[in-house]
Amino acid sequence: MTPINQTMVQKKILFISRHAPYGTSLAKDALEAVLAASAYDQNLSLLFMDDGVFQLLSTQDSKDLEQKNFAAMLSALTFYEIKNIFVHLESLLARQITINEIAIDGIQIVDSAAICNLLIQQEQLLSF
């Protein structure tokens, strides 16, 4: 283990979140990893795809699950100044989710071809 060096080199790191908000804790663990990463002055991006797009629904209600509302937790992304947030168009279409239902303002919708470009630009991928 190493002490965290605050002046470490900056890398382009993309977090990919591909699981629904409840049922497993992978979505939550992905979000916590992104928020932790924001403290280290890296060039961060976050992509929601596959069932991960369900995390974005503004109308989700987790009260009966006795879990925190994931859409509310995602609002932390703004406070942590994570600005490069993407959602995969084809994943939205396959699940009949429209942009009006998405809780995050300023999210960028990207199709599969654009995601290829996004991936190529990265120096590191963290998949959840």
Provide the binding-site residues for another protein, judged by CB under 8 A.
1-2, 4-5, 8-9, 11, 13, 18-19, 25-26, 29, 32-33, 36-37, 39-40, 42, 124-128
| Of 68, 114, 126, nearest in space to 89 by CA | 114
Residue 108, token pair as written in the block:
């960028």
- Pick from 124, 127, 120, 117: nearest CA to 8: 124
d(CA 107, CA 102): 9
Q: Which is nearer to another protein, 93 or 125 (CB)?
A: 125
Nearest approach in angstroms of CB 125 to another protein is 7
Smallest gap from residue 99 Cβ to another protein (A): 27
Closest approach, Cβ 59 to another protein, in A, equals: 26
CB-wise, 19 or 88, nearer to another protein? 19
CB-nearer residue toward another protein: 99 or 125 = 125
What is the nearest approach in angstroms of another protein to the Cβ of residue 109?
24
Pairs from 61-68 (Cβ < 8 Å, separation ≥ 24): 62/21, 62/22, 65/22, 67/22
Query: Of 9 and 113, which CB lies nearer to another protein in the complex structure?
Result: 9
Fill in the amino acid letter for 78: T
